[in-house]
Amino acid sequence: MVYVEALSKVLPVILLFLLGAFLNKLHFIRSEAIQEMKKLVLNVTLPAVLFLAFSRVSLEACHLLIVGMVFSACVVALLAGRLIRPLVHIESPYFPALMTGFEAGMMGYAIFGAVYGAESIFKFGIIDLGQVTFVFFGLVSVLERYRAGTKRFSETLRGFFATPVILSILLGILANRTGVMPPLNAWPVSAAVLKTVEMVSGLTTPLIALIIGYEMRLEKSGFLKPPSEHRPATVVLGSSRLALQRALD
């Protein structure tokens, strides 16, 4: 019974995946529009979700411990990738980077929110915060060294705080700690603004699911044997939107 209930919560997201794939088959939406929808999610609707979630919950010291644990786990995964790379005879220096991070922005939040509800999104956001912190202050530095030398710390720091996801989390925490949310909800004009933010946040899961479904490319041959020809691949690390272009050997 528990599994059926869990499936019933995830099923709408799966159906939206299928709807996105169906719309792609019909050429109902142009690929350019999908890219604009991604920008809308990452810069508007997802930050709205995170701001509301973190503004309505009381954070505890243990949450910072979780952020540190996730950061440490990503570091361990990066080091493990360096150890594994010569053992499996992979020449690409980017292989260790593929061992780290997880998909949060364009899938994790949608599925987690569908199963556990928008009021629990902050829990996933805390985990994602540890991963995004690692990406900006650990992984980006490693990748920049491969590409164009070391990047200045000030630029990395500025990019971190300018990321909409991080900014919305910090603003949500600030709103919560300063106690401004009750007065804002009490005043009709500010309450209307918050209601608008809540309506915008409700678009996140449907848009993400449609985007993922639209971009799914499933081939029977790919399940048994990877393609031998060189193909460019894009690796997206969570909500940081960090993309690496590489050729597969």
Element (H, E) at 114: helix 108-116
What pLDDT was estimated at residue 237? 38
What gap in Å lies between CA 53 and CA 124, rounded to an integer? 10
What pLDDT was estimated at residue 18? 92
Number of independent structural domains in the chain: 1
Q: What is the mean pLDDT of residues 166-174?
A: 90
pTM: 0.73
Burial of 38 (0-12, 13-18, 19+ CB in 10 A): middle
Q: Could you list the residue range(s) of the whole structural domain that residue 242 is in?
A: 2-217+228-247
Query: Considering only CA atoms, which of 216, 202, 237 is closest in space to residue 74?
Result: 237
With respect to residue 117, please indicate whether it lies within any of the assigned structural domains. yes
With respect to residue 120, please indicate whether it lies within any of the assigned structural domains. yes
With respect to residue 48, please indicate whether it lies within any of the assigned structural domains. yes
Q: Tens digits of per-residue pLDDT, 196-229?
A: 999 999 898 899 889 989 988 766 665 555 555 4
Q: Tens digits of per-residue pLDDT, 50-103?
A: 899 889 887 788 888 998 999 999 899 988 988 998 888 888 888 888 888 777
With respect to residue 135, please indicate whether it lies within any of the assigned structural domains. yes
What pLDDT was estimated at residue 242? 39
With respect to residue 222, please indicate whether it lies within any of the assigned structural domains. no
What gap in Å lies between CA 107 and CA 169, rounded to an integer? 18
